């Protein structure tokens, strides 16, 4: 199945290009870790996973831009990024429920090791899916193009902290949510050098939470034939999530990812 998907994607892209579409696709690795704080709150339990510092490693990403060449129709951008990383976190756990609080106290007293403010192994997995419709202007001119649109970000996450006081004891949460994002972009191409320079950004402004995602990149393309180009891209990307309970139930978080990315490109016209 894993071998079939890339072949199916190339076949689909070639068929779309025959229908007078422009299709750009890219995939690569985003070298980032995770820093910040995640908290989980419900009626009987409050867990604060503070000072999270997860290791930097290559994270998978893939994106595709589809342009119908019709000036009245928006362009479509699809993106997926997977953050999966391990590291250390400090916990602070408390409960308004007397039984649960007694369990926490018994763990601390029985082990002789402070449960709170100790460093524990933790794992974070964050899957980010973006669908964006946008218009781009001046893309056929010698000047930098500008574009703007509206998208929707859907994401799932799993956060697990291993508490070594009791074998198999873990704290954490898993959930999913989504939010509309305003999108903007600008691109400049230098045909004589086969190079392009681009900046993109997404921002959430519709609620109490704060989210943004921006990147700058440079790409180098080589023509294979009249309808196909291949190349590579390199850039820098930063994401920030300040999630408040008013927008997403039970979970609050203040997390950031930042780092370089590098990937391969293909273009069908």
pLDDT for the residue 3:
47
pLDDT for the residue 127:
94
Lowest mean pLDDT among 59-63, 119-123, 160-164, 183-187: 160-164
Q: What is the pTM of this model?
A: 0.80
pLDDT for the residue 131:
96
pLDDT, tens only, 9-65? 555 555 554 456 789 999 999 998 777 777 665 544 455 554 566 677 789 999 999
Number of domains in the chain: 1
Q: Where are the beta strands (DSSP E) in the chain?
A: 22-41, 46-67, 75-94, 119-137, 145-162, 170-190, 195-204, 210-225, 228-243, 251-268
CATH number (domain holding residue 261): 2.40.128
Q: In angstroms, rounded to a whole number, what is the distance separating the alpha carbons of residues 50 and 96?
A: 19
Domain range holding 29?
A: 4-268
Please state the rounded mean pLDDT for residues 162-184. Answer: 76
C-alpha distances (whole Å) from 15 to each of 9, 22, 23, 78 are 10, 11, 11, 18
pLDDT, tens only, 95-152? 666 776 777 677 666 655 566 667 777 888 889 999 999 999 987 778 899 999 999 9
Who has greater pLDDT, 9 or 198? 198
């Amino acid at each position: 199945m894993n071998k079939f998907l890339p072949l199916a994607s190339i076949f689909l892209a070639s068929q779309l290009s025959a229908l007078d579409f422009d299709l750009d696709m890219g995939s690569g690795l985003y070298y980032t870790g995770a820093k910040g704080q995640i908290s989980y709150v419900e009626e009987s339990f409050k867990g604060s996973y503070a000072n999270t510092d997860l290791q930097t490693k290559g994270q998978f990403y893939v994106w595709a831009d589809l342009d119908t060449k019709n000036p009245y129709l928006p362009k479509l951008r699809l993106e997926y990024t997977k953050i999966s990383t391990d590291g250390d976190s400090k916990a602070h756990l408390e409960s308004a429920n007397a039984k649960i609080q007694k369990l926490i106290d018994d763990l601390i007293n029985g082990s002789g090791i402070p449960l709170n403010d100790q460093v524990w192994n933790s794992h974070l997995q964050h899957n980010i899916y973006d669908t964006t419709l946008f218009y781009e202007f001046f893309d056929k001119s010698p000047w930098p193009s500008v574009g703007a649109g509206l998208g929707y970000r859907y994401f799932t996450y799993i956060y697990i902290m291993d508490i070594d006081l009791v074998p198999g004891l873990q704290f954490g949460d898993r959930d999913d949510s989504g939010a509309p994002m305003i999108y903007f972009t600008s691109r400049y191409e230098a045909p004589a050098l086969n190079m392009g320079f681009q900046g993109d950004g997404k921002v959430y402004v519709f609620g109490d939470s704060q989210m943004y995602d921006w990147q700058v990149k440079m790409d180098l393309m080589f023509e294979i034939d009249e309808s196909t180009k291949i190349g590579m891209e390199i850039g820098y990307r930063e994401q920030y999530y300040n999630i408040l309970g008013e927008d997403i139930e039970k979970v609050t978080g203040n997390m950031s990812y930042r780092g370089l990315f590098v990937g391969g490109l293909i273009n069908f016209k």
